[in-house]
């Protein structure tokens, strides 16, 4: 039988010769300076024994409150093929002096062995969505050889873990990097060593740990310090800290690309038109090259994010067509914009309501954007359950009170505020008469997520409702989302 010409012509890749295992015991020992008790191979890397699956490598990390060595039996019981430990154990393992240092070493080895285009993403908001969209675009165009950090694994443990999970055959890697303090990103970006580094935006997230937004901009700009020689920095042209970011970027990047509506932006918005289903049809100019694509996710913030995504795909040598398709098909992320159709009674008689899940994170900028989007969402009644915003420092009360304007723009009919910090907003709404564009707002202020759930249950979910749930993750509003999605249609 003669092979089809298309199969014969399938392009070869040097990485095709790489082994199929993620890591062998010999490779782990060489990377970490450890000693292997036996030969073994692993297909994954895990730090939580409860999430270990068959074939994983389990790192027994020591934390302030726990020691992974206490969970070795559970890890082996769930199928761990090997572990990395600080003292000899009964199963196959690699013995090292310090398991956290060993995880970082394995991450460095993973980065060193790949011939891949690497993108780093940070910012005060939008970084997880940008990371996921970039992954979808690059994976689509690379025969499934893209890799990214999962969930929000973006800190001093999550970044080396995400690197250690990167296969040798990877063509593109996308890594999210976060920070709460100055100096953290500098360390993370030197592990990742990106070819392209993105700052999505600068806003007062975690501002309680900083002297002001300028200090946040400086800390976010640390991502450029790890850029590979000739790397590309991508920064928001419309942000008021653009000049500050640009000054830092030019010291480390071979090229700086800005994105936004500004006439001088390298990735410039030409036009944005509402698309069926709540998304946006975007026309952009990428340094003189016009592209047109659809974004499935609603909101002006996603229009801005998409410009950064397109600029990054072009900079890394990806496929802009695949990126456009990925943006058109992308669904909302759990806790970060996922939309659910849930069962409802009464109201407009439709038997359904819209639940918008933004329960994972909140800062003043993302709250304002999300509330404005709620106001643009078709609904017979708009309900907002807003949890406290954390780590805002001395200006905490002011930032919460200033949400009165966005609440009004959100055309909110029923508002449930959760947490002590929200007292400032409740007071501001009381002084303003609590009026929205839709009329008088029905406001309740409670202390816990369970009390908020009781408020919603007492009022009922009505047909035609649009229900927004948003707050800092520690407030626990995700429990309300999980409860409501049991009503999913």
Q: Could you report the per-residue pLDDT of 248-300, keeping only the tens digit for each?
A: 999 999 999 999 999 999 999 999 998 887 899 999 999 999 999 999 998 89
Answer yes or no: do 196 and 127 share one domain: yes
Task: List all residues 6 or more positions away from 20 whose beta carbon is below 8 Å from its beta carbon.
Answer: none
> How large is the average pLDDT for residues 21-45?
97
In the predicted model, is pLDDT for residue 487 greater than 60? no
Distance of CA 226 to the CA centre of its chain: 20
Q: How far apart are CA 400 and CA 423, in angstroms?
A: 8
More confident residue, 324 or 212: 324
Count the domains in the chain: 3
Which ranges constitute the DSSP H helices of 40-182? 72-77, 99-113, 127-140, 158-164
Domain-located, residue 12: no
Answer yes or no: do 345 and 325 share one domain: no
Q: How far apart are CA 480 and CA 484, in angstroms?
A: 6
In the predicted model, is pLDDT for residue 489 greater than 60? no
The pLDDT of residue 439: 57
Q: How far apart are CA 240 and CA 225, in angstroms?
A: 21
Answer yes or no: do 282 and 346 share one domain: no
Give 42-64 pLDDT, tens digit per residue. Answer: 999 999 999 999 999 999 999 88
Q: How confident is the model at residue 333 (pLDDT cuts 50, 70, 90)?
A: confident
The pLDDT of residue 204: 82
Give residue 76's domain range.
18-99
Domain-located, residue 13: no
Single residue among 68, 99, 130 that ends a domain in this structure: 99
Answer yes or no: do 160 and 265 share one domain: yes
The pLDDT of residue 434: 53
Answer yes or no: do 90 and 140 share one domain: no
Give 290-319 pLDDT, tens digit per residue. Answer: 999 999 998 899 999 999 999 999 999 999
In the predicted model, is pLDDT for residue 5 greater than 80? no
Domain CATH code at residue 23:
3.40.1390.10
Q: How far apart are CA 475 and CA 419, in angstroms?
A: 7
In the predicted model, is pLDDT for residue 361 greater than 90? no
The pLDDT of residue 488: 55
Answer yes or no: do 131 and 223 share one domain: yes
The pLDDT of residue 1: 47
> How large is the average pLDDT for residues 145-149?
96
Domain-located, residue 202: yes
> How large is the average pLDDT for residues 60-76?
93
Answer yes or no: do 260 and 284 share one domain: yes
Q: How far apart are CA 426 and CA 269, in angstroms?
A: 37
More confident residue, 400 or 12: 400
Q: How confident is the model at residue 9 (pLDDT cuts 50, 70, 90)?
A: low
Q: Name the nearest CA neighbour of 109 among 145, 163, 155, 158.
A: 163
Domain-located, residue 5: no
Q: How far apart are CA 479 and CA 421, in angstroms?
A: 20
Cα-based distances in Å from 75 to 82, 93, 101, 103, 350: 9, 12, 20, 17, 48
The pLDDT of residue 438: 46
The length of the chain in residues reads 489
Cα-based distances in Å from 322 to 172, 272, 317: 14, 20, 12
Q: Name the nearest CA neighbour of 239 among 359, 408, 125, 342.
A: 125
Question: 400 near 475, Cβ under 8 Å?
Answer: no
In the predicted model, is pLDDT for residue 90 greater than 60? yes
Answer yes or no: do 320 and 361 share one domain: no
> How large is the average pLDDT for residues 204-231?
89
In the predicted model, is pLDDT for residue 235 greater than 60? yes
Q: How far apart are CA 476 and CA 289, in angstroms?
A: 45
Q: How confident is the model at residue 437 (pLDDT cuts 50, 70, 90)?
A: very low
Domain-located, residue 2: no
**How much of the chain exceeds pLDDT 90, in percent?**
80
Question: Within the chain, how many helices (H) and strands (E) appear?
Answer: 17, 24
Question: 122 near 220, Cβ under 8 Å?
Answer: yes
Q: How far apart are CA 403 and CA 30, in angstroms?
A: 53
In the predicted model, is pLDDT for residue 89 greater than 50? yes
Answer yes or no: do 265 and 145 share one domain: yes
DSSP state of 414: E
The pLDDT of residue 13: 59
Q: How far apart are CA 483 and CA 450, in angstroms?
A: 11
Answer yes or no: do 358 and 295 share one domain: no
Residue 45 has phi, psi (to 5 degrees) of -130, 135
Answer yes or no: do 164 and 308 share one domain: yes
The pLDDT of residue 205: 73
Which ranges constitute the DSSP H helices of 4-120? 5-8, 25-32, 72-77, 99-113
Task: List all residues 6 or more positions away from 454 whose beta carbon is below 8 Å from its beta carbon.
Answer: none
Question: 36 near 25, Cβ under 8 Å?
Answer: yes
Give the mean pLDDT of the chain. Answer: 92
Residue 476 has phi, psi (to 5 degrees) of 85, 25
Domain-located, residue 7: no
Kindly report the pTM of this predicted structure. 0.86
Answer yes or no: do 119 and 209 share one domain: yes
Q: How far apart are CA 400 and CA 471, in angstroms?
A: 12
């Amino acid at each position: 039988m003669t092979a089809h010409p298309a199969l014969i012509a399938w392009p070869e890749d040097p990485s095709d010769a790489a082994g199929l295992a993620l890591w062998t015991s010999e490779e782990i020992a060489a990377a970490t300076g450890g000693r292997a008790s036996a030969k073994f191979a692993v297909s994954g890397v895990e730090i939580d024994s409860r999430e270990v699956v068959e074939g994983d490598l389990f790192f027994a990390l020591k934390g302030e409150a726990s020691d992974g060595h206490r969970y070795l039996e559970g890890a082996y019981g769930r199928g761990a093929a090997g572990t990395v430990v600080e003292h000899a154990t009964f199963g196959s393992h690699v013995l090292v002096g310090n398991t956290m240092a060993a995880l970082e070493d394995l991450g460095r080895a993973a980065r060193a062995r790949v011939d891949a285009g690497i993108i780093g993403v940070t910012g005060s908001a939008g970084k997880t969505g940008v990371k996921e969209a970039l992954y979808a675009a690059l994976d689509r165009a690379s025969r499934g050889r893209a890799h990214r950090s999962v969930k929000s694994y973006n800190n001093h443990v999550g970044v080396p873990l995400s690197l250690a999970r990167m296969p040798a055959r990877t063509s593109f890697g996308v890594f999210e990097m976060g920070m709460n303090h100055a100096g953290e990103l500098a360390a993370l970006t030197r592990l990742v060593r990106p070819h392209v580094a993105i700052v999505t935006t600068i806003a007062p997230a975690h501002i309680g740990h900083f002297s002001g937004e300028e200090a946040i901009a400086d800390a976010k700009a640390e991502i450029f310090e790890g850029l590979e020689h000739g790397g590309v920095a991508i920064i928001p042209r419309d942000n008021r800290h653009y000049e500050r970011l640009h000054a830092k970027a030019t010291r480390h990047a071979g090229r700086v690309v800005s994105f936004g509506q500004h006439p001088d932006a390298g990735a410039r918005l030409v036009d944005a038109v509402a698309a069926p289903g709540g998304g946006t049809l975007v026309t952009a100019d990428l340094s003189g090259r016009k592209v047109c694509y659809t974004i499935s996710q609603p909101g002006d913030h996603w229009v801005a994010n998409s410009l950064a995504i397109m600029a990054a795909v072009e900079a890394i040598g990806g496929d802009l067509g695949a990126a456009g398709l990925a943006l058109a098909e992308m669904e909302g992320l759990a806790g970060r914009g996922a939309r659910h159709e849930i069962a409802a009674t009464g109201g407009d008689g439709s038997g359904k309501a819209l639940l918008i899940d933004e329960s994972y994170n909140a800062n003043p900028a993302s709250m304002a954007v999300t509330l404005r989007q709620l106001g643009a969402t078709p609904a017979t009644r708009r309900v907002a359950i807003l949890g406290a915003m954390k780590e805002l420092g001395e200006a905490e009360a002011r930032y919460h009170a200033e949400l009165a304007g966005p609440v009004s723009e959100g055309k909110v009919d029923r508002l449930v505020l959760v947490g002590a910090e929200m007292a400032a907003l409740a007071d501001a709404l009381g002084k303003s008469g609590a009026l929205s564009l839709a009329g008088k707002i029905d406001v309740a202020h409670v202390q816990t997520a369970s009390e908020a759930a009781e408020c919603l249950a007492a009022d009922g979910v009505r047909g035609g409702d649009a229900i927004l749930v948003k707050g800092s993750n520690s407030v626990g509003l995700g429990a309300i989302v999980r409860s409501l999605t049991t009503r999913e249609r």
